[in-house]
Amino acid sequence: MIARRPSARVVSGRQRVVIEGITPLVDGGRYPIKRVVGEVVVVEADCFADGHDVLSCMLQYRHAEDGKWSEVAMRELGNDRWIASFAVERIGEWRYCVTAWVDQLQSWAHDFERRVDPEDLLVAAKSGADLIAGAAARAPTKEERKNLETWARSLREASADQVKQIAHDDALLALAVRYAARTGAVRTSLDLRIIVDRERARFSTWYEMFPRSASDTSGTHGTFDDVRKRLDYVSGMGFDVLYLPPIHPIGRIRRKGKNNAVTGTTEDPGSPWAIGAEEGGHKDVLAALGTLDDFKSLVEDARAHRIEIALDIAFQCAPDHPYVAAHPQWFRWRPDGTVQYAENPPKKYQDIYPLNFESDDWSALWDELRSVFEFWIDAGVRIFRVDNPHTKPFRFWEWVIAEIKREFPDALFLAEAFTRPKVMHRLAKLGFTQSYTYFTWRNTKEELIEYFTELAQDPSREYFRPNCWPNTPDILAVSLRNAGAPAFRLRLLLAATLAANYGIYGPAFELLENAPRDDVSEEYLNSEKYEIRHWDLSRPDSLAPFISSVNAIRHANAALQSDWSLIFHTVDNSELLCYSKRVADNCIVVVANLDTRYAQSGWVTLDLDALDLASGTPYEMHDLLSGARYQWHGMRNFVRLDPALTPAHIFRVLGEPRPAAATSLTV
Our answer to whether residue 268 is catalytic in this structure is: no
Residues 341, 353 contacting (CB under 8 angstroms) = yes
Q: How far apart are CA 227 and CA 294, in angstroms?
A: 11
Q: How far apart are CA 302 and CA 583, in angstroms?
A: 30
Instruction: Return the SS3 of 554.
Output: helix
Catalytic residue among 312, 387, 474, 595: 387
Within the chain, how many helices (H) and strands (E) appear?
15, 30
Q: How far apart are CA 625 and CA 622, in angstroms?
A: 9
Residues 550, 493 contacting (CB under 8 angstroms) = yes
Residues 619, 657 contacting (CB under 8 angstroms) = no
Question: Would you say how long the chain is, in residues?
Answer: 667
Q: CB within 8 A of 398, min separation 6: which ones?
A: 430, 431
641, 368, 531, 462: which is closest to 44 by C-alpha? Answer: 462
Q: How far apart are CA 331 and CA 342, in angstroms?
A: 11
Number of Cβ within a 10 Å radius of residue 400: 22
DSSP state of 558: G
Q: How wide is the angle at C-alpha 577 spanned by C-alphas 576 and 581, nearest 5°?
A: 150
N- to C-terminal Cα separation, the chain? 60
Residues 186, 15 contacting (CB under 8 angstroms) = yes
Catalytic residue among 416, 510, 595, 612: 416
Instruction: Return the SS3 of 551.
Output: helix
Q: How far apart are CA 264 and CA 279, in angstroms?
A: 20
| Peptide linkage before 346 cis (omega within 30 of 0) | yes
| Peptide linkage before 647 cis (omega within 30 of 0) | no
Residues 199, 557 contacting (CB under 8 angstroms) = no
Q: How far apart are CA 595 and CA 576, in angstroms?
A: 8
Burial (Cβ within 10 Å: 0-12, 13-18, ≥19) of residue 613: buried
Q: How far apart are CA 234 and CA 238, in angstroms?
A: 7
Our answer to whether residue 387 is catalytic in this structure is: yes
Q: How far apart are CA 628 and CA 308, in angstroms?
A: 34
Active-site residue set: 387, 416
